Structure formats: C-alpha cells, structure tokens
Amino acid sequence: MFSKSEYNKYKLDFIIKTFVHLEQFAQWLRKFFYLNHELSLEYDTIYQESFYVTFHELITVGLDYSKKVLSQLTVEDEKKQWYKNLVEGLEKLKGTFSEIELQYIKYKRHNSSHIFQNDYEHKVFEKGENLTPQRENKIDQNEKDFTNLIRKHGGDKKFDLYMHHKIFPIASDLYDQLQANKNQNKRQYKNKL
C-alpha cells in the first residue's frame, strides 16, 4: 500500500503529466492547422515533410488520445462537444485515404523523421536478427504498391498535392468547427460572470 506522501506524489505526478499531455496535444493541433493553411497557399517541401509527420501522428496517436479524453468526460458540455467534433473530424480525415495511401503516408512520415530510409533495416541487422520471409514479402509488396501509387499520381510531389487537396477542406472545416465551439464556450463563460 502507498503511504500518504507517496500517494500525494503519485497524484501530483499524474496531474502534471495530464496537463503536459494536454498542452503538447494542443500544440500539435496548432502545428497541423498551421501547416495545412500554409500548404494551401504554396507548396513547400520543408512544410510538406513536417506535415506528413504531424498528420500521421494526429490520425494515430492523436486520435487515440482524443477518444480516451472523450470517454472520460462524463458531463455533456462544450468540452465534450469539442472532443466529439475533434474525434469525428480526425476519423473523417483518416477515412479519406485508402489503406495503401495510409501506408504510404506512414512511409513518408518515417522518411521525414529519419535521415536514412532504411534505418529500421540497419537496426535489425545490427542486432543480428534476420528478416522473416513474411516480413520480406510485405516489404516487397509495399514497394510494388508504393511504386504503383506514385505512378498513378504522376510522381511523388503530385501525391503530396493530391493528399493536401483531400485534407485541406476537411481540416479547414474541422478548424472552423472547433473555433466556433471554443468561441461559444467563451461567450457562455462571460455570461456566467
């Protein structure tokens, strides 16, 4: 069993971690909306690479986080509605792409995050592990699928443009919806004062 001081320390650590995660997630959303806006004005390879990282993490880790927060909100209020809108928007963004497109986005995210594309392969070989035939087949299949996807769009940059063309209107609507919800929250708070 915990002593009272151990319990209080654990509780304080949990509260601090919760607030830190909330702020980190809010910053991630700001970055996503900022990059979405900037890329709508002009194609930029630096922003595009950052967008792959931000978008992929948002529709995976961010979506899971949003669902977790939503599930813990018990009172039907503006905050719960905000998270409902966010979860619906993130699911819509994710659902916009086919499975192979999502795999390619993940691949582009890894390329944007690591200096070398084959970084994971090196780690496997450095540890003395062998690739299984199933893993090799998946790598070969992904390579074929990615090649076909790039050909379909006429190049890597054109896939970037296609991706952003699909994301921009959904992300813009989501931003507007979240901002409207936030502004309604502020008005209701002022009226209570």
- pLDDT, tens digit, for every residue of 104-133? 999 999 888 877 766 555 455 555 565 566
When pLDDT is cut at 50, 70 and 90, the band that residue 181 belongs to is confident
18 touches 52 (CB < 8 A):
no
Residue 138 has pLDDT above 70, yes or no: yes
Question: For the chain, how big is the Rg over CA atoms in Å?
Answer: 21
Q: What span, in angstroms and rounded, lies between the C-alpha atoms of 28 and 10?
A: 27
pLDDT of 178 strictly over 60:
yes
Tokens representing residue 117 in the block: 């594309």
